[in-house]
Structure 1
Amino acid sequence: MADTQQRLGRWYFGGFASAGAACCTHPLDLLKVHRQTQQKERVGLVKMAVRVVKSDGVFGLYNGLSASVLRQLTYSMTRFALYETVKKRLAADGKTMPFYQKILVASVSGATGGFVGTPADMVNVRMQNDIKLPPEQRRNYKHAIDGLYRVFRDEGVMKLFSGASMASSRAIFVTVGQLACYDQIKGILLNTSVFEDNLILHFTCSVMAGTIATFLTQPLDVMKTRMMNAKPGQYSSLLACALDIGKVGPLGFFKGFIPAFVRLGPHTVLTFIFFEQLRQNFGEIKE
């Protein structure tokens, strides 16, 4: 245990850990997108899963997986890299970040990662939602790179960053909920005599961080998904999107909350378990 406590994560560990988690939780993410993009029809999570499997088979649940992995290798790798770099530099000077500073660093890291990951995020949403459309209306991207190229070719480079402000705003909240809160909770629990730096601690902290992140991000997540999947000119502004969602009441902003929690919770847990295992086994030894 003493050795693992002295190891620090490398800048790319977060991206790899998040990509691994995405491979495990992608079906839940796909169902969440389907729930958020439906307008009047209310279909439960299980019924939605059955519908997807009947329509496109079991592999239909993994539609858009390449875009999901690419998103994590851009969005999550960027935010983890920035956060861990600041944390590592302070650790080299024998310092630790107070909670307010963790929130600040996580906010900047999240905003930057959200912007960098917007193109892959948009293609991810489109690929996941494709199977809901009639065959003649489907975009049929072969994979994430094909999707990025076709958006660039047919709709222009600016379209790749459609919804970037919303993606960055959401990324701020999810990064605060995940990285800053995970770090803070882990530090508090390590100072007790109950926990040690092991799998039980990592699981406990990540469950709590995932819960916080879901509450913080759900309203923005719904609006982001709607705007990224909207037809050209459907929404003139973020306010127009919010008003459209609000027609069904305040709960419209939390549509798909349960699948979002079911997806974000396990994704957060797996991300930090993978991250901590990478850190403990392959991290840089603190001098």
Structure 2
Amino acid sequence: MDTNKLIEFGLGGLAACGAGVFTNPLEVVKTRMQLQGELQAIGKYTVHYRNSFHAFYIIGKTDGLLALQKGLVPAIYYQFFMNGFRLGTYQGLINAGLTQDANGKVSFVRSVMAGAFAGCVGAFFGSPFYMVKTHLQARSAHSIAVGTQHDHDSMLKGFRCVYSTGGFLGLWRGVSAAILRVTVGSASQLSTFSTAKAYIVHLQVFPAESWLNAFAAAIMSGFVVTACMTPFDVVSTRMYNQKTDAYGKGHIYKNVLQCFVKTFRTEGLWGFYKGWAPSLMRLAPHTVLSLVFWDRLRDAYRRFQQHHPIEL
């Protein structure tokens, strides 16, 4: 891999890490709400978290304020590896001209395909970190516990625990759901961002080099990705968090399709949109922050290269 590609991966990862620090508390709330009432009909389970704001209050009161940053370490690693590979791959496809049509303009269809492929790559490399992050964020005091509760309380202990039961491949348990989740999210996010930014620049709403072009495009992208990705996000969270046997096999769901079917039969269509509000509250600012950081970091790197070219 050449130097520019490595730098693209690094810039994408750093941008997502910066966003992840700010949005991790919303990820904790989202995870708890997605696991609440798992495979139970409405009215048949205790509601610990009535809404996003109530969840913040209850978690802070019962588990302590620091609990709102549970899973931050694996979350940062996940953001770096997943988005490093995802954004780096996507930018590589852009640089190769694979997202443009015959006239050299940004093609929405090609951007969707490029974003989906980049999402697959990122999801695979980030999957182990996302699984442990989910375990840590779901872990809580017994009085407000939802979903399977795992014993480990750190990233390294989580990896050791998963490895001891499922072996090396066990670290990628649930990756199929993650690939679906990130593929849908990445395709909708990156294609919307690229297309919207190109359109906004064309309209000359802001100066061509202004960060406001990226900011406006990222806001549009945040709403689109939340609507498209939430059902897959719910399934992914549940697949990762379920209890496993001595061989690493899931006790509740054998595969992604069964998770979709079981959720729909017991919780209805709304079951796929549990945690919708915190997802939007998290994804919108996370999308804005990560894409704006990414855009600005790449712009800063281009400026640096103009004055201090790196030759290898």
Task: Check whether TM > 0.5.
Answer: yes
Residue equivalent to 2:220: 208
Q: CA distance change for structure 1 residues 200 and 97 in 2, over 3 Å: closer, same or farther?
A: closer
CA contact (8 A) 1:83 1:106 kept: yes
Q: Deviations over 1:50-69 (max 9, x none)?
A: 11112222111001100100
Q: CA RMSD in A?
A: 2.3
Residue equivalent to 1:41: 46
Q: CA distance change for structure 1 residues 266 and 132 in 2, over 3 Å: closer, same or farther?
A: farther
Structure 2 counterpart of 1:237, from 230, 243, 255? 255
- TM value normalised by structure 1: 0.89
Residue equivalent to 1:56: 63
Deviation at 1:132, TM superposition (A): 4.8
SS in 1 for 2:278: helix
Larger RCO (CA within 8 A; separation ≥ 6): 1
Residue equivalent to 1:265: 284
Residue equivalent to 2:4: none
CA contact (8 A) 2:106 2:194 kept: no
Letter in 1 for 2:115: A
Residue equivalent to 1:6: none
Deviation at 1:96, TM superposition (A): 5.2
CA contact (8 A) 2:63 2:141 kept: no
CA contact (8 A) 1:90 1:97 kept: no
Alignment map for 1:237-256 (pairs within 5 Å):
237-246=255-264, 247-256=266-275
Q: Distance in 2 between matches of 1:59 and 1:240?
A: 35
Q: Distance in 1 between matches of 2:129 and 2:142?
A: 20
Residue equivalent to 2:109: 100
Letter in 2 for 1:127: L
Residue equivalent to 1:223: 235
Q: CA distance change for structure 1 residues 258 and 89 in 2, over 3 Å: closer, same or farther?
A: same
- TM value normalised by structure 2: 0.82
Unaligned ranges ≥5, structure 2: 1-6, 38-44, 245-250
CA contact (8 A) 1:131 1:138 kept: no
Q: Distance in 2 between matches of 1:35 and 1:130?
A: 13
CA contact (8 A) 1:177 1:210 kept: no
Identity %: 27
SS in 1 for 2:267: coil
Q: Distance in 1 between matches of 2:97 and 2:16?
A: 24
